[in-house]
Amino acid sequence: MAIDKETELHYFQLLNDIASGERQHGMYIQAWADKTQDPELKACLSMVADREFSHYHIFKRRISELGYSWIEDSEDPVLEERLRVNGSDMPDVEKARFAKDKMAQRPSPTTRERCESAMSDDTVDPLTQSLLSWFSDVEVDSNFHLGQSYARIEANVE
């Protein structure tokens, strides 16, 4: 049963932002995976895209378990730009630099920081806290693998 009462759950926005963000990350990372000719990079990007889509589904489900509905973000210019870049014929090394620049420009507080504060907030239900903790760990691991791939690609062109 999903009803719209997003104003009542103080961490609804965090869960909704995670679901929306993960869906978008999945889309543009998959677009790059579909385009690259580098099998190692393709495997890494596909793994991360699968994780992102899975996070989207899990957080959407959690929102609905709590009695709310995920609200889709309206047009996102950032998503459009990232899909355009990652779906283009631009070399992988340039896509990697673009991704790193975007990562460095993340708005503050970051999703990770918001998760950390929710994990230490006793008014957030324990199951959601444990979900946020697992999610944060997976994100760290995904970023580690992406970082390794970017470093390998950059080393290859130097």
Contacting positions for Fe ion (CB under 5 A): 25, 52
Q: Report DSSP letters for 10-57, one per residue.
A: TTHHHHHHHHHHHHHHHHHHHHHHHH---HHHHHHHHHHHHHHHHHHH
Nearer to Fe ion, 2 or 81 (CB): 81
Q: Closest distance between Fe ion and the C-beta of residue 8, in Å?
A: 27
Nearer to Fe ion, 52 or 92 (CB): 52
Q: Closest distance between Fe ion and the C-beta of residue 52, in Å?
A: 5
Nearer to Fe ion, 67 or 144 (CB): 144
Q: Closest distance between Fe ion and the C-beta of residue 33, in Å?
A: 15
Token duo for residue 100: 């790193």
Q: How far apart are CA 116 and CA 132, in angstroms?
A: 8
Nearer to Fe ion, 110 or 130 (CB): 110
Q: Which residue, among 61, 54, 73, 57, has the nearest Cα to 13 in the 3D structure?
A: 73
Give the residue at shortest CB distance from Fe ion.
Answer: 25
